[in-house]
Amino acid sequence: MENQPHLKAIDLRRSFQIGPRKVDVLKGIDLEIRRGESVFLCGASGAGKTTLLYTLAGLEQPESGQVIFEGDVLYAQGDAAEARRRNQRIGFVFQGYFLLPELTAFENVLLPCMIAGESKGTSRDRVEAILEKVGLADRLHHLPAELSGGEQQRVAIARSLMNDPSILFADEPTGNLDSKTGAAIVELLLSVVREKERTLVVVTHDPNLALRGERRLEIQDGKIVG
């Protein structure tokens, strides 16, 4: 349905056991995100923002509550179906890049296509085009150790976009970068989602970067407060 939220969270709750102590991390999160919207989640360390991001992206199941993505309830269709959804419809950019060190930039970006069953020959042009788009046309055959932090993050962004997801999640995408490089990475994310009319959800500790989005949400003690 056209008026349906792209992503909706209903009373999300999540806790962790730390020794004898139970720590409540998400305390009844309700949230709606429109298709094509860019939303930045802010909050202090330990506020629950990364746990919320992982839960919204289908990576970490809540103890209770629901995540509804494109009309479907996440975590309700079995592991294989959820893995296909993450591969085909959801992109995720990790703070630590999570590039395979033995693979080149080209091969790391190719991975989602191989998981989807595409051949290297079929995907080659797309991989080269997307690496060119993120400014790495001359770094295709470099290993992660031969790339700067900003370049590694660009490879991670390219990988997340390979299967043309309708929504892109990014966890502290500038956390390991200097301010200038970080600002360029955020601008790259925003330009990509604007061009393709994709939805973007970003966790950041930087309130100035959060102002770049259409909406900024503050998470405090497991709840959205503003």
**In the chain, which residues have pLDDT < 50?**
none
pLDDT tens-digit series, residues 35-58: 999 999 998 888 899 999 999 999
* Superfamily for the 36-47+78-224 domain: P-loop containing nucleotide triphosphate hydrolases (3.40.50.300)
- Does residue 185 contact residue 150 with C-beta atoms inside 8 Å? yes
Task: Spell out the domain ranges in the chain.
Answer: 36-47+78-224
Quick one: pLDDT at residue 210? 85
Quick one: pLDDT at residue 2? 59
Quick one: pLDDT at residue 65? 97
Quick one: pLDDT at residue 179? 85
Quick one: pLDDT at residue 216? 94
